[in-house]
Amino acid sequence: MKPKRIILIRHGESAANVDRYLFGQIPDYTIELTDRGKEQARQAGRRLRDLVEDESLYFYVSPFWRTRSTFENIVSEIPRSQFKYSEEPRLREQEWGYLRCNEDFDNICRERREYGAFYYRIPGGESGTDVYDRVNDLLGSMYRDFKKDDYPENCVLVTHSLTIRLFLMRYYHLTVEEFEQMLSPENCELVIMSLQEDGKYKLDYEIRTTNTPLRYSRPITLP
């Protein structure tokens, strides 16, 4: 049966959130949490525990080290008998290709802002559309899991900011323009989707947006 809630959690503060040039120095998947990020995750665990009380949980966890560490610190606040989990590679961060120097990173960030994060393909890496496709595939797998009679009462995804925004875009059928103007959740913020009587999930989270005009925008207009 469908869980009562789907909860999306961005990882805690990582070393690359403090020094973004780490992306060009070590493999992205090895970037770890800061001490502050670990404490953010423990706080998220306490908030999650207060929210679900004694209800069961199932965690899908991105295999990157910062999301593994976030998960470990979250569940340090939750009884072991209360949750199950699995690693889910489709929740991983967008692939950033091979960054040879800081200038490469700066150029990619600039081009991505100008072109739009949804369509821009990072050289040697992924576009937002690639991540959208694997999020779409994951959502299908989740709904097959939901059909199990013993599926836990809450579903939690421990993942990355872009993945969360694309998950919301896919589930709520947001436009490309709406996605482009969506701001990232804060580190370890709980993005909660609550099951309604009609079987759909209501977003109990206020999407924050930027007021910066898009360079390219062409919404559908009907006569």
Domain at 58, CATH number: 3.40.50.1240
10 located within any domain: yes
Q: Is residue 217 a part of any domain in this protein?
A: no
Catalytic residues: 11, 93
Give the domain range for residue 22. 5-203
Residues facing residue 6 across a β-bridge: 155, 193
Q: The tokens of 178 are what?
A: 């709406």
- Residue 208 within any structural domain of the chain: no
| Contact assessment for residue 120 and residue 127, using Cβ atoms and an 8 Å cutoff | yes
Residues 32/73, Cβ–Cβ less than 8 Å: no
pTM of the model: 0.95
CB 59 within 8 A of CB 75: yes
For residue 98, pLDDT beyond 80? no
Our count of domains for the chain comes to 1
Please state, in angstroms and as integers, the Cα–Cα distance from residue 42 to each residue in 26, 29, 65, 156, 189, following that order.
Answer: 26, 21, 16, 15, 12
Q: Is residue 99 part of a domain?
A: yes
Output the pLDDT for position 76. 98
Q: What is the pLDDT of residue 24?
A: 78
Running DSSP on this structure, what letter comes out for residue 205?
A: S
- The arithmetic mean of pLDDT across residues 130-158, rounded, is 97
Tell me which DSSP letter residue 17 carries: H
The burial class, CB within 10 Å (0-12 / 13-18 / 19+), for 148 is exposed
pLDDT of residue 97 exceeding 90, the answer is no
